[in-house]
Structure 1
Amino acid sequence: MKSNGSLVKPAASFDEPVEMLKACHERIAAQCLTLERLAAYLPLHGADTQAQQAASAVMRYFDVAGPHHHADEEHDLFPMLIEAGQRLGSPVAERIASLSSEHRSLEAAWAQLRVVLADIAQGKASSPETVRVDDFVGAYRAHIVLEESQILPFAEASLSEEQLARLSAAMVARRTHTPR
């Protein structure tokens, strides 16, 4: 399918859970870009309406979708890959342990950034430390590169259709809100 002379990528669906994880990475990267732009914008414009909206959008993403993404990996994908790695004699378990540790570091960095973003979202004149934003964004980008270059290709090559279906079902269930 073409649009304006370029190929249009179809939206990922939970029917293809590895593609959905890649799409989540794209959204994380987009939020990181927004965070960088916000850090550059604030010193010039302060916590105006545009800054407040950007801070709120980044917070919404990393407060909800970010934890879901980490849970998709840690509770569902990673255990399957560790099992496959043992079966195939792959050192993937070592990489997964490192990635899980990175998740904790990213979550801790997010908790610190979120405090500043909450002030910005409320219109309080505040600005995240550039180094803190750069560290968070850089860590997330490196994390995504590792997952996409090593972990997700291993998942595509080693997981069965049944395992992919279980992964998909868990991802959908995690995002399904049941009324109380």
Structure 2
Amino acid sequence: MKSDSLLIKPAPSFDEPVEMLKACHERIAAQCATLEKLAAHLPSHGANTQAQQAARNIMRYFDIAAPHHHADEEQDLFPVLMEISQRQCSPVGARIASLLDEHRSLEASWAQLRIVLADIAKGKTRLLEPVRVADFIGAYRSHIALEESQIFPFAEACLDRLQLARLSAAMVARRTITPR
């Protein structure tokens, strides 16, 4: 066993907003894996306690954290990158436009899956359509791959400390609960 395999990579903080967005991708991938396992679990076990909890966990993530992640990108990261892309005549701007379309498609797919997951969370025996699950997971995987291979490296190369600080502050504010 390698000695470095015992080292645990520290979680990124909001002081590293691009790293934080990458960490969100890891959590999205984990929830997609849970969704895949749940779809395989249901035919044999139905909406048992384990399935209900998995459905609740998936819904919590995609109802709360995933919309924050999309907003981080759409409202704060992408507009700055599009501006830089135009100045540099970079193709990143066109890729960002397609990512925005993908966000809408992912959200629509989620809305359909959520209906079934809500029933499962209540203990109703429902099956998740394998094609719908596979399409959702595949779309997220390719979406994440594009962001991590092209958009995030562009951001890391182009954003200055002030822009990163603004992105970080916006991400924190989005997740801060303000008393009424």
- Report the count of equivalent residues: 179
Shift of 1:48: 0.2
| Matched residue SS, 1:40 | helix
Equivalents in 1 of 2:175, 2:162: separation in Å?
A: 20
1:22 CA displacement? 0.1
Question: Which residue does the alignment assign to 1:26?
Answer: 26
| 1:47 matches 2:47 | yes
Q: Which residue of 1 aligns with 2:101?
A: 101
Equivalent in the alignment of 1:7 = 7
The CA distance in 2 between the partners of 1:50 and 1:3, in whole Å, is 36
Identity of matched residues, %: 75
| 1:126 paired residue number | 126
Opposite residue 85 of structure 2, the aligned amino acid is G
* 1:179 counterpart residue number: 179
TM-score w.r.t. structure 2 length? 0.97
Instruction: Give the drift of 1:6.
Output: 2.9
- Residues 83-162 of structure 1 aligned to structure 2 (within 5 Å): 83-162=83-162
Instruction: Note the C-alpha offset of 1:7.
Output: 2.8
With structure 1 as the length reference, what TM-score do the two structures score? 0.97
- AA matched with 2:175: R
User: Unaligned 5+ residue runs, structure 2?
Assistant: none
Cα deviations by residue, 1:112-171 (Å, 9 ceiling, x for unpaired): 000000000000000110100000000000000000000000000000110000000000
Following the alignment from structure 1 to structure 2, what is the Cα–Cα distance between the partners of residues 140 and 94?
A: 19
Q: Which moved more, 1:3-12 or 1:139-148?
A: 3-12
Distance 1:8 1:116, change over 3 A: same
Letter of the 2:83 partner, please give it.
Answer: E
Distance 1:31 1:89, change over 3 A: same
Q: Per-residue CA shift, 1:17-39, capped at 9, x if unaligned?
A: 00000000000000000000000
In structure 2, give the amino acid aligned to 1:48: N
After superposition, the Cα gap between the structure-2 partners of 1:33 and 1:3, relative to the gap in structure 1 and judged at 3 Å, is farther
Of the structure 1 ranges 33-42 and 85-94, higher mean CA displacement relative to structure 2 is found in 85-94
Distance 1:8 1:108 in 2: 36
